[in-house]
Amino acid sequence: MSEETMADIISFVNQYFCDKHTIPSVGKIAQGVGIPRSTAYRYLVEMNNRGMIEYDGKARMIRTPIIRKFAPESAPCPFVGAIPCGSAQIKEENVREYIRLPVSLFGKGKFYILEVSGDSMVDAGIDPGDLVVVRTDCTAEIGDIVVALTEDNESTLKVFGGVDEETKNAILEYRNQAKYPNQKIFASQRIVRGIVKHVIKALEQELE
């Protein structure tokens, strides 16, 4: 296969993406480079085998090194409303929207995003209005910040403090020593609904 044709294909795909913000079909690549569609397909398969591009045989699943930088792999994540940090309240279940999280920053897994209200986690750096990215497909360890259901079937954001030996319930700890000194609540271990992995904050700056 021609190295020149491979370079032309990469150049065409990159330029098409920059101009139209989408990936060209195999037919568009064939037309743009001046080769038959079947030949373009064979080139794409070979270029994928050589590690020059990513191509899984589908019409618009072509990723060159340039495209990976401008359009990194991402996954949709539901933004499901607010969760309290002070006193536990029932969490809103309606999805506001879906936000795509770049895998390179957040990793792979099952996530959802919640907006924080209340002040019981300020010593952990989580303030009202922050967004927390919660992962559901992992197991909580002592010290993790978790979303859990209390014994009253209400949702809350707290630090996982282990398991009470008598009740076998999860210990959920506050992190606001000034307002809630050494305060704890309890929840069934079976209904810990995810671990906070990231906090997204809006920085407030005062202008002098």
Q: What residues are labeled active site?
A: 120, 158
Residue 181's nearest CA partner among 120, 118, 125, 116 is 120
In this structure, are residues 188 and 171 in contact, taking their beta carbons and an 8 Å threshold? Answer: no
CB-count exposure of residue 55 (10 Å: 0-12, 13-18, 19+): buried
Cα–Cα dist 83/155, whole Å: 7
Q: How far are the Cα atoms of 49, 112, 150, 194 from residue 130, in angstroms, in the given order?
A: 44, 14, 22, 17
Residue 132's nearest CA partner among 101, 175, 94, 177 is 101
